[in-house]
Structure 1
Amino acid sequence: MLRNIDLNKKFTLVLTIVFMIGVLLSGLALSAILNRNAENEVTTQAEMLMQTMIAVRSYTDKQVNPLLAARLDTDPQFIPQTVPGYSAREVFENLRTSNKYTSLFYKEATLNPTNLRDKADTFETKLIESLRKNKSLNELRGYRQIGNENLYYIAKPLIISEASCLVCHSTPEAAPKSLLATYGSKNGFGWKLNEIVGAQVMSVPASHIQQAAQRSFLIVMAVVLTAFAIAILITNILLKKAVVYPIKRIVKVANEVSTGNMEAEFEHSSNDEIGMLAIAFNRMKISLSMAMDMLQRRN
């Protein structure tokens, strides 16, 4: 099939194939890079929020809890603001009222929590068990499915690093009366110092990562396609001027010579292969002319 296609169309076909292969490979590489960059961006945001929650926990434990600790045995109901995890969760829920953070989720998933809203589900339990088995892990990252939503998560171990936490979580007998009155004596006990009892889990819908990557992909690919198209167009024009048109001129002159017009000249304005071809044709024309003169003299 290619034998019946002129040189100009062959050049265009080759350039188009090169263009398609280049765009395909660029698209695959770009997609992977943008997905990774979008994931890193979300991870950085989640890390910052996670550190904020850790700071809230520390503030509650060191400054709020000492001010209210004495009331835990006298008040009829437990004061949850003395619990670092409660403060962190409430602060984050207030943060989620902003449209910028409404799609983020934070939970201090615990194997044996006092407040059952912090009870780890099956997936979170596996995360906690992994962190407990390998204490060198500072965090876990990945994706999980909840209903129809695909979530990207970061999980950090929740370690009992302060002895003050054991006041409410060692045994029911040692716990404040208000805590027992509010939550009962079945949950949230038996914790030990330096034990991993849960995980701080920050989650964000994966669609946000994908949408951010897709937006960047479309913009960059539009630029790449435009750049490739312009490059192909310029290359095609240059090839026509430097190769196709000179060859067509040589073909035209060769046809004239073949019909007996020995005055036709093969022009050669360059010293490249096309110019050398024109010189060779001129020599051939001269040789042909000399041969014809010799035949005429013999006759």
Structure 2
Amino acid sequence: SISVYFSIYFALTFIVASIVIVAIVNRSMRNEALSDAREKANVILERNLATHHYFSQELKPKLFDTFAGSQSPDYFEPTWMSSTYAIRQIDKYFNSNSEYSNYYYKECAVNARSPQNEADDYERAFIEELNKDPDLRQRSEIREFDGQAYFVSLHRGERMEQSCLRCHSTPDKAPGDLVKQYGDQRSFNRSDGNIVSAISVRIPLANAYAATRATTIKLSALLLAILSLMLTAIYIFTKKTVMLRASKLEDLNQQLVAEISERKEAEAKAERDARLTQILLDSMPCVAMLLSPKTRKIAALNETAYKAGARVGQTCFGSWARHDEHCPFCMAPELWESGVAQHIEVEFGGVFWDAHWLPISDDLYMHYAFDITDRKQTENALFQSEERFRRAIVDSPFPTMLHAEDGEILQINRVWTKLTGYEPEEIPTLSAWTERAYGERKDVVKSRIDNIFDCDTTVEEGEYVISSKDGRMLTWDFSSAPLGTLPDGRRLVISMATDVSERKQAENALQVKTHDLGERVKELNCLYGLSKLVDRYDSLEDILRELVEMIASGWQYPEVTCCKINALGNEYKSSGFEHTEWKQSATIIVNDQASGSIEVFYKRQCPQAYEGPFLKEERELINAITELLGRTISHKQANEALIESEKSLAMAQRITHLGNWDWDIQRNEMYWSDEVYRIFGVEVQAFPPSYDAFLSTVHPDDREFVEESVNKALDERKPVSSIDHRIVLPDGSERM
């Protein structure tokens, strides 16, 4: 086993190391290939830049000097006048060599003069970035073309200069032969300072990557062969030497393993017991501790006990209770003496505790306690609530009964006994009550009462006639509601009644007058509706438009009634208006003048009454409506005239700078016109007007004089004669 484990470990280690070595070699070779491609790209770039330099600095200047004056301005020969053309031709010869056929060099431009130099989308994007970012010089990355990897290098090209604009500004400024050869569309309209081209170089990486893969495979095979040889050598060595000693060590190891196993099992059991104990303590939702009976020192505790102040290694009374001696209510001595768990509920430190002492072993016991303060307060509140509820039932002014679903009557109140004459002991069950109160109807009523227990909301049972002990027949209006369940599981219902015997008698008397009053109510509602319309709307047109729809509700047959109003020179008709022979009308009088009419029609023939099919009360109603409407029109017209008059008065006061004020002395209320506020130099309606506010504006030297004049007029009940005095404006200036 040792030999196998060692061989596996060695093989895994060797394989991991081999993978790392192969990966490093592969990465290094790829980086070297990439570095070589970058150098080749720079060589090609520098070579072509040197060619440009030769053309621009040596060849073209000398040839221009040589042919000076012998060539026309339109002469253009690209073979020596365009270095780009020359480089493109040289690159063709260079690519004709099969070894360099995949090399790529292009001086690309947007709208290049020669289509062969036109930039593709990737190159065009780079040229646009060059014009946006003046710090951008070059960019390189690995891209794939036709499934082959290439090292791509883009470099900043030439910037358009003033001397270049002869051939690149507009076609009319360029040499004629150039325009003839390339046309008048491409590479024109350039601007001074624009970067118009970039140099794009691609170096193929396929061969370098293939060599890298081949080297990786060879290296992997070599390492695999070395691994096989080493594993064979290790196997032979361990077989002859290590295995002999391993056999002896195996015996010793088995003995040692057995001892360690026993020790671990003992430690695990102790740890498991301690963990289970702690889990038990932590799972308890209360203060919980394990203590020593002899010293009452804490051996273990839960988080709740720790938060309460208890500490391991200290006594429970010293750390938790903060006492020098054990607590007077402690039940631990009884626990030690009897060996039986102890329990007590006690108030300590303003808190109610449900305390327990539980024996665990001869040298250990558990003490745990629940904080039951909330429960005690709830129980006390519940007791008080139940007592209030009991008193509420007993003292209720309405007959009240509590009864359970098995028929037991738990309680009836004093009013129940007073009105019926039955004492609680006479009607202990619902059967006894229904027998006495309902006689032959007992079974029907008892069945209805039993159904109440299946409801979960208040049940309005309605009115029942019951028989009292002295034979009187009473009418009670019952309602019942569920109250939950009793401790023994029985459902509980409370039933209350209202003695409506006198009300029923009154209702019978009222029924005689109900029909007549109903008709009068409709009429009053119609008149009331008109008054509400007057309060709601300022416009007479709105009032009339609503009124014509409302009038039908006041007549005996509103469903076949329609109406028409002629007033203010307009005609208003109700919805579904029909002109029929059954008509009732009245004239609207405004300021003793006939000003319109109201006409009410029945759409079909109705029974004959006082005035054809119309009642006498309906004649009085239509007269009342026309009278009230006439007064309303007159009042509204007068109101409009008053508003116009007040507007004219306010305008006149503002023009003459004359204000008026009224003082209701009994109510101490005062009215100021807007111009009074302006005279006093304050915003209109800036504050409620008052006599004190008026006096505060009077100059201090004149205030006593003004008050004496006003008081004299009040005492003598004579008007105040005209007086002159000064007032002080808010800005401190004075006005007479």
1:21: Cα distance to partner?
2.0
Corresponding residue to 1:27 among 2, 17, 22: 22
Asked if the contact 1:112/1:197 (under 8 Å) is kept, the reply is no
Question: Which residue matches 1:195?
Answer: 194
Contact 2:160 2:191 in 1 (8 A): no
Higher relative contact order (CA 8 A, sep 6+): 1
Moved more, 22-31 or 108-117: 22-31
Quick one: distance in 1 between partners of 2:207 and 2:163?
39
Aligned residue in 2 for 1:185: 184
Residue in 2 aligned with 1:175?
174
Q: Which moved more, 1:57-66 or 1:161-170?
A: 161-170
> What are the residue-to-residue correspondences of 1:107-256 with 2, within 5 Å?
107-160=106-159, 163-229=162-228, 232=231, 239-240=238-239, 243-248=242-247, 250=248
Q: Secondary structure at the match of 1:187?
A: coil
Task: Tell me, in whole angstroms, the C-alpha distance in 2 between the residues paired with 1:223 and 1:64.
Answer: 58
- Name the residue aligned to 1:45: 40
Q: Alignment RMSD, CA only?
A: 3.0
Counterpart in 2 of 1:54?
49
Q: Greater shift after overlay, 107-116 or 170-179?
A: 170-179
For the residue of structure 2 that corresponds to 1:53, the secondary structure is helix
Alignment of 1:57-96 (within 5 A): 57-69=52-64, 71=71, 73=73, 75=75, 78-96=77-95
1:14 alignment partner, one of 5, 9, 14: 9
- Offset of residue 176 of structure 1: 1.3
Larger strand proportion of the pair: 2
SS at match of 2:184: coil
Note if contact 1:78-1:182 (Cα within 8 Å) is conserved in structure 2.
Answer: no
Equivalent-residue separation in structure 1 for 2:45 and 2:112 (angstroms): 20
Residues in 2 aligned to 1:244 and 1:174: alpha-carbon distance in whole angstroms: 97
Matches of 1:220 and 1:199, distance apart in 2? 42
Q: 2-side partners of 1:243 and 1:194: how far apart?
A: 82
Q: Distance in 1 between matches of 2:81 and 2:72?
A: 9
Residues in 1 aligned to 2:226 and 2:160: alpha-carbon distance in whole angstroms: 57
SS state of the match for residue 98, structure 2? coil
Query: How many angstroms apart in 2 are the aligned matches of 1:221 and 1:133?
Result: 49
Q: 1:105 aligns to what? A: 104
Q: 1:45 to 1:187 in 2, by over 3 A?
A: same
| Bigger mean CA offset, 188-197 vs 150-159 | 188-197
Task: Determine if contact 2:74/2:178 at 8 Å carries over to the other structure.
Answer: no
Q: Distance in 2 between matches of 1:188 and 1:89?
A: 17
> Identity across aligned pairs (percent)?
21
Kindly state the Cα deviation for residue 83 of structure 1 after the two structures are TM-superposed.
Answer: 1.2
**Shift of the alpha carbon at 1:55?**
0.7
Q: 1:179 to 1:214 in 2, by over 3 A?
A: same
Amino acid of the residue matched to residue 215 of structure 1? A
Q: 1:106 to 1:168 in 2, by over 3 A?
A: same
Query: How much has 1:72 moved relative to structure 2?
Result: 7.0
Distance 1:101 1:147, change over 3 A: closer
**Contact 2:78–2:85 (CA under 8 A) maintained in structure 1:** no
Distance 1:116 1:174, change over 3 A: same
Moved more, 18-27 or 179-188: 18-27
Higher mean Cα deviation, 8-17 or 211-220? 211-220
Instruction: Give the Å deviation of 1:111.
Output: 0.7
1:102 Cα offset (Å): 1.7
Q: Deviations over 1:239-291 (max 9, x none)?
A: 5555334335x489x8xxxxxxxxxxxxxxxxxxxxxx8xxxxxxxxxxxxxx
TM-aligned CA distance change 1:223 to 1:135, over 3 Å: farther
Deviates more, 1:99-108 or 1:235-244: 235-244
8 Å Cα contact 2:33/2:205 also seen in 1: no
Deviation at 1:89, TM superposition (A): 1.7
Shift of the 36–72 alpha-carbon distance from structure 1 to 2, 3 Å rule, reads farther
In 2, distance between residues paired with 1:63 and 1:220? 53
Q: CA shift at 1:192, angstroms?
A: 3.6
What is the CA-CA distance between 1:158 and the residue it aligns to? Answer: 0.7
- CA drift at 1:149: 4.0
- Between Structure 1 and Structure 2, the one with more helix by share is 1
Alpha-carbon distance in structure 1 between the residues aligned to 2:72 and 2:209:
47
Tell me which structure has the larger Cα radius of gyration. 2
Report the Cα distance in structure 1 between the residues aligned to 2:160 and 2:230, rounded to whole angstroms: 62
8 Å CA contact 1:108, 1:200 repeated in 2: yes
Q: For this pair of structures, how many residues does the alignment match?
A: 247
Q: 1:81 to 1:242 in 2, by over 3 A?
A: farther
Q: Which amino acid aligns with 2:12?
A: I
Question: Using the alignment, how far apart are the partners of 2:130 and 2:234 within structure 1?
Answer: 58
Aligned 8 A contact 1:34 1:217 in 2: no
- Which residue of structure 2 aligns with residue 293 of structure 1? none
Q: CA 1:207 to 1:243, structure 2 compared with 1: closer, same or farther past 3 Å?
A: same
Distance in 2 (CA, whole Å) between partners of 1:170 and 1:48 is 33
Q: Is the 8 A contact 2:139 2:154 kept in 1?
A: yes
Structure 1 residues without counterparts, runs of 5 or longer: 1-5, 255-276, 278-299
* 8 A contact 2:171–2:188 mirrored in 1: yes
Instruction: Look up the equivalent residue of 1:171 and give its one-letter code.
Output: T
> Secondary structure of 2:190's partner?
coil
1:26: Cα distance to partner?
2.8
The verdict on how the C-alpha distance between 1:194 and 1:245 changes in structure 2, with shifts beyond 3 A counting, is farther
Distance 1:251 1:152, change over 3 A: closer
TM-score (norm 2): 0.31
- SS of the residue 1:113 aligns to: coil
CA distance in 2, matches of 1:67, 1:140: 36
Question: CA 1:122–1:161 in structure 2 vs 1: closer, same or farther (change >3 Å)?
Answer: closer
- Compute the displacement of 1:59 (Å): 1.0
What are the Cα deviations for residues 146-176 of structure 1, in whole angstroms up to 9, with x where unaligned? 4444432111111226654333223323211
Query: Structure 1-normalised TM-score?
Result: 0.71
Could you tell me how far apart the structure 1 residues matched to 2:74 and 2:63 are? Answer: 11
